[in-house]
Amino acid sequence: MTYLQHFFQRSTLLAVNGAKRQIGRSFLPRNVTFKHNFSSLVRGQDLLAESLAFGPKQKIILDSYYPQTGIDVHGMLEYVDAAPPSDEETQKNILLMNGSIIAFPHACYLWKPRRAKDVTLESLAVVVLSKPSVEFLFIGCDTPLPPRELNRIKKDMQKRHIVVEQMDIMNAMGTFNVLNGEDRRIAVALLVADADEE
């Protein structure tokens, strides 16, 4: 039996005009079990909660973005307490980072640039120095970076096997959270612009 035949083994039948017709095949073998029962998922269910909570170190989660102010970051503060945190205590674990930031899977740092033209290869040196090395670097900026500097950054990072992509801040935050939940080696640089820049 081939691999495809195994997956197409089961079929459903439907009575149409008194005649039974084969209308579809199951894509899963009969003995497949799931860790999550997807029928029990409700609207707003956090599918990444388990993976973000897994491991000896707390993972960084980028939560909210406040233009011209900063970004809310989960996982920066750690309280030593034997009891599991309540909802109110979970809110205490949020830290507002005032200004631009560079975030890694287990760490987050303030970052000096405040305008798109301040983002240079030199300002991203901490990404190159991080260990373990980074696979992806996302630069979140609501205004486009100067094309020459962006190409210079991409070319230098490509030599170091780092994929660089520029996107708006909200998409960069979401992409970071998802890839961090998948245990990818990722970094994100988020530029919170000054009021006079916008």
Compute the mean pLDDT over every residue in the chain, rounded to the nearest whole number. Answer: 76
| Amino acid 48: pLDDT | 61
Q: For residues 104 and 42, which has the higher predicted lDDT (pLDDT)?
A: 104
Is the per-residue pLDDT at 10 higher than 50?
no
Q: What does the CA dihedral 191, 193, 194, 195 come to, rounded to 10 degrees?
A: -160
| Amino acid 3: pLDDT | 42
| Amino acid 134: pLDDT | 94
What domains are there in the chain, each with its CATH number?
A: 60-190 (3.40.1230.10)
pLDDT, tens digit (0-9, with 9 covering 90-100), for 33-77:
444 444 555 555 565 666 666 666 788 899 888 888 899 998 877
Give the β-pairing of 136-140 and 163-167: parallel
Closest CA to 136 of 179, 107, 178: 179
Spatial CB neighbours of 95, under 8 Å, sequence gap ≥ 6: 72, 73, 76, 77
Report residue 181 as tokens: 């939940």
136: confidence class by pLDDT, cuts 50, 70, 90: very high
| Amino acid 27: pLDDT | 45
Q: Is the dihedral of CA 35, 76, 86, 67 positive or negative?
A: negative
Asked if 93 contacts 74 with a C-beta cutoff of 8 angstroms, the reply is yes
Closest CA to 48 of 61, 39, 38, 29: 61
As a whole number, mean pLDDT of residues 173-178 equals 94
Closest CA to 124 of 141, 97, 101: 101
Q: What does the CA dihedral 33, 45, 93, 89 come to, rounded to 10 degrees?
A: -100
- State the Cα–Cα distance between residues 108 and 62, nearest whole angstrom: 10
